């Protein structure tokens, strides 16, 4: 499974990248706003750091506008994945941009039918939003499973990018089902390393080590 980091914070990306935990980055207008930086400037900096796909999102609502913005964003670096919403106009934009050889991440997916359309339109990535479905008492992970089944049935090359990840269990379940990629905030990715029994075991080892009176260095 590939790990994308869902942030525009350079320091957070760099920390995870140093450990080999970053296969790509996803951003959106909210994350750009949170960073307080110019979209082209911060995206270019991320693209220089990360070899994998870096998603940069269009904000136009019409297909023509999305295509124009997508082409402009793609000028930032070769590893830009243009992010468009899963609307009819977004699908039109996806078809044009993917036909030009650009990576396209179709976002805000909430149904298997939408995911099927995105694959037909040539999407590189489909981003189903797990957490937001869970928020309205629907099963976000069931959507991942449904998309996996459909894509495997017809050998679609579109990669399932599980998004709106809120917990480490979301990541575990997405990996078990077979999502190709997850994108999550740095805090959730780092939380994968945490377990109370690890902490308890380490505490016991250190107490026993102190009793020996020994030093390694």
Catalytic residue list: 83
Cα dihedral sign, 34-40-42-44: positive
Please name the residue that has the structure tokens 């994945």. Answer: 81
C-alpha to C-alpha distance for 201 and 44, rounded to whole angstroms: 43
C-alpha to C-alpha distance for 39 and 28, rounded to whole angstroms: 10
Question: Cα 215 vs. chain centroid, distance in angstroms?
Answer: 44
Q: What stretches of 84-195 show up as alpha helix (H) in DSSP?
A: 88-99, 112-120, 130-135, 140-154, 168-177, 186-191
């Amino acid at each position: 499974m590939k790990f994308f980091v869902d942030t525009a914070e350079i320091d957070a990306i760099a920390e995870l990248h140093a450990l080999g935990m970053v296969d790509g980055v996803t951003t959106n207008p909210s994350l750009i706003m949170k960073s307080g930086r110019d979209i082209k400037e911060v995206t270019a900096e991320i693209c220089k750091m990360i070899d994998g796909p870096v998603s940069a999102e269009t904000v136009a609502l019409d297909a023509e506008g999305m295509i124009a913005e997508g082409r402009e964003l793609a000028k930032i670096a070769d590893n830009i994945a243009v992010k468009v919403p899963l609307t009819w106009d977004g699908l039109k934009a996806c078809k044009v941009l993917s036909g030009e050889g650009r990576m396209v991440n179709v976002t805000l997916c909430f149904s298997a039918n939408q995911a099927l359309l995105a694959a037909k339109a040539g999407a590189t990535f489909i981003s189903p939003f797990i957490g937001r479905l869970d928020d309205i008492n629907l099963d976000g992970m069931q959507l991942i499973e449904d998309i996996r089944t459909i894509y495997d049935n017809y050998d679609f090359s579109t990669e399932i990018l599980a998004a709106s990840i809120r917990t480490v269990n979301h990541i575990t379940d997405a990996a078990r089902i077979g999502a190709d990629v997850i994108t999550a905030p740095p805090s959730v990715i780092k939380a994968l390393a945490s377990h109370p029994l690890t902490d308890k075991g380490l505490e016991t080892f250190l107490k026993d080590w102190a009793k020996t009176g020994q030093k390694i260095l």
